[in-house]
Amino acid sequence: MMGAIWRKEWIMPYESAWSIFEKFIYANVIERKELLKAMGNEHVKKIKGTHIGNRFRDLLTLNGFDAQNIHNYMKCNLHQITRDTIQKLLHPLSEENADIWFSKSLRWCNDCLQFGYHSLIHQFVLFNTCPFHCQPLINFCPKCHTEIPFLLSDISLSDAFTCKCGYVFADMSTRWEKWNSTLEILDPSIMGWIGEYDNTLKKDKWLYIPKYVDFQTLSNRVFTQQNNVYRLRPSDSTLNSDDNLLHDISKNNRQIFKSVDKYLRKKLLYKHKACIKRLQYMLKRDGENFLPICPCAYAYVFWKQSLLDLPQFYGTVNGLQKGRGSYKPDFHMVAPIFKEQLKQLFDKATKVPRIMEEPTKGAIKWILNTASAYLYLRFFSNWLEFAEEGARLEQAPRKDMFHKIVNSGIRFVFHYSEDPIEGSTIQFIDNKNSLLKEKISSIKCKKMRSMNRQMRSFTPIAVSMMSFDDRQLKKELQVYVDQYVAKLCL
């Protein structure tokens, strides 16, 4: 490719390697594999044939490209341009691991592509709108609905800026006349994030779980309730090798669950006590089918089963099972489904680098207690969203729906700030649990509390112990009960 057509003015601020390479491919009428061989590093050049792994095609790390080879053709340090943009985007997070914060598939703005432009800002998962045109980003081909990998690859693309299905992403009728245009960031919040005019975010320290954070949550730094703030006191004991901290965390977590459970039963679901008992003990009248399931009972029963990882939905209604939540000399939570996430918080708060210079036992316990209470309540709220459909169908959610119930709408961070006058504080910021009282009040069910006294339990073990003169009748009942339980099995 000696004498390649290129002008360094065609590279705009924050531009990604993807659109830079696509423009080069278009201007020089070459294939992507030809570009990779020409600008690749020694490892790539030694690879025989066309099978070059994706790790050498990655456009975030540029691991397969040689900086000098790129400079020879493009008169720019593309590695440095990419690193600078990544650093600007990640700096407010005090995060060095870029991989989790950038989409593996291409996300773009149609208006930007008309200038032959795509930005690494588009790939940053905290932003869902284009900062230059303030419109939602696109993440799949409008024609064939295929996602485009963020790689220098022909897997989903044919010609430059063109999907394999034939859809053209950028208007090339003007050729490269628009390629040296300058786009301005119009979204003030995004401009503030990357530090164009506001450096306040860069002084902030955040404690978060990556999968549970978004731009809106990080931007909402207003104190809404005083009980969402923990003030570090000089008298607080600092961390040491004392294992009692893990013991206290485990003990507190058990109490958090019991408090949330009691709040749901006594404050929100007290009118559905009979409904819960009917489902939990599988109550019905002899010779009749099970009554329709109350959505509130459905949400509570399956919330509790999945949260505590119980083997079946029927059984004890109140409290924890014996031994569950007892102390172990490690990081132990009563809810296995959220243990890994809470462990991430614990590690980020206690291990170097950490947001607090001198983390205290009181602060660590408050962080985990607050996060646990939020997660457990939000999890119930998510179950309630699915409950009407699940109760109507009399079946547990499928795998994809259960994944949504576990993760949907969970957004929270802890914001740490130091003030020479007010002292150090930690604020819990979340997207607020949905209005549970209003949602529960809107759900209609036939409570039929008095009917429970005319019913008895038909759990599988209860049926197996029943005495029948007609063995065929018992067999038919067992089949009915087993099928009912199977449909409600998580």
| Contact (Cβ atoms closer than 8 angstroms) between residue 170 and residue 113 | yes
In this prediction, the residues of the chain whose per-residue pLDDT falls under 50 are 197-202, 222-225, 323-327
Name residue 65's beta-bridge partners: 40
- What is the residue-wise DSSP string for 84-111? HHHHHHHGGGT----GGGB-SB--B-HH
442 and 361 inside one domain: yes
DSSP E strands in 149-244: the ranges are 205-208, 229-231
Q: How many domains does the chain have?
A: 2
| 234 within a domain of the structure (yes/no) | yes
* Domain identity same for 392 and 245: yes
| Same domain membership, residue 140 and residue 267 | no
pLDDT at position 416, please? 87
Q: Which of 453, 270, 244 is nearest to 361 (CA)?
A: 244
pLDDT tens for each residue of 215-273: 877 766 544 445 688 988 877 777 775 568 888 999 999 999 999 999 999 999 999 99
- SS3 breakdown of the chain: % helix, strand, coil, rounded to 5? 45, 10, 45
Residues 113 and 235 in one domain: no
What is the domain extent for residue 111?
A: 8-193
Residues 84-135: pLDDT tens digits? Answer: 999 989 887 766 678 889 999 999 999 999 999 999 999 999 999 999 999 9
Q: Are 406 and 211 in contact (CB under 8 A)?
A: no
Q: Does 283 reside within a domain?
A: no
Pick from 168, 193, 218: which residue ends a domain? 193
Question: Same structural domain for residues 363 and 436?
Answer: yes
Among 142, 172, 193, identify where a domain stops.
193
Q: Concatenated DSSP letters for 112-158?
A: HHTTT--BHHHHBTT--B-TTT--B-B-S-TTT----BSBS-SSSB-
Both 255 and 307 in one domain: the answer is: yes
DSSP letters for 63-83: TTB-HHHHHHHHSS-HHHHHH
Q: Indicate whether 168 and 252 sit together in one domain.
A: no
Q: Is residue 340 part of a domain?
A: yes
| Amino acid identity at 208 | Y
**Closest Cα partner for 176 from 109, 119, 115?**
115
Residue 120 shares a structural domain with residue 264: no
Q: Which of 294, 290, 248, 292 is nearest to 273 (CA)?
A: 294
* Whether residue 242 sits in one domain with residue 130: no
Cα separation values, 424 from 108, 230, 356, Å: 40, 9, 9
* pLDDT value, residue 227: 60
Phi, psi for residue 343 in degrees, rounded to 5? -65, -35
Give domain status of residue 166, yes or no: yes
156 vs 176: CA distance, rounded Å = 23
Is residue 219 one of the residues assigned to a domain?
no
> What pLDDT, on the 0 to 100 scale, is given for residue 325?
46
Same domain, 189 and 235: no
In a shared domain, residues 177 and 240: no
Tell the residue number behind the tokens 């208007």, with chain if given.
Answer: 171
Task: Let me know whether 44 and 131 are in one domain.
Answer: yes
Would residue 3 count as lying in a domain?
no
Whether 325 is in a domain gets the answer yes
Tell whether pTM > 0.85: no
Residue 178 lies in a domain: yes
CA-CA distance, 295 to 411, in Å (whole number)? 25
**How far apart (Å, rounded) are the C-alpha atoms in residues 33 and 18?**
14
